[in-house]
Chains A and B, each alone.
Chain A
């Protein structure tokens, strides 16, 4: 089955770090650009970052630039999002999506709270 599965979410204090992973099955993730999109509780969708097929291009929303790093692991058929200096406003469900956004994972919840 073609799918994306996110993991790594959880409760973290402000200023802390988390590393999210997105693992693909049923297809080769490095054949596609891959993105992270987040959704704050009760709010809409917000693009976070993306990475190209070979990892040579990475782009970030201004709100996370300098704090988040997207990377990919070809051997694990996965993409990761390292999140540092977390803030309350980073709380939400983080979705991984294969571009052009035709496949989304089920999401992983990040809760930044004291």
Chain B
């Protein structure tokens, strides 16, 4: 199974300041079709997960442009240009390139400091 390792596990962030989360894969996530199936998922406290980013860098509808995804092969990053209060919660990277099974990172908890 593909192992996704996120860092940091805990991310105290100041309002209005940037924040960044790393996701490293145990193997390349480049699919034979040329796509890289790496998603970023956000889960606010007490809520269900929501996809923010798909295929490394594509924002889902309604996701603010302060969120951006980048990376390639085994190293990926989610950046928030200016943290807002509503950004608290846990962020997960998720891969679908080598599915069966789909795998998730262990999560990064963002809180406001």
Contact = CB atoms under 8 A, between A and B. Distances in A.
Give the contact-size bracket for chain B: 20 to 34
Given A45-B104, A59-B100, A107 B41 contact: no
Nearest to B50: A104
Nearest to B92: A45
A35 B102 CA distance: 10
B101 A45 contact: no
A37 B50 CA distance: 13
B101 A47 contact: yes
B98 interface: no
Interface of B: 37, 39, 41, 43, 47-51, 54, 60, 90, 92, 94, 96, 100-107
29 contacts: A37-B49, A44-B106, A45-B43, A45-B49, A45-B92, A45-B94, A45-B107, A46-B104, A47-B103, A47-B104, A59-B100, A59-B101, A61-B101, A62-B101, A95-B48, A100-B39, A100-B51, A100-B54, A101-B41, A101-B54, A101-B94, A101-B96, A102-B54, A102-B60, A104-B48, A104-B51, A105-B48, A106-B47, A106-B48
Interface of A: 35, 37, 44-47, 50, 59, 61-62, 95, 97, 100-102, 104-107
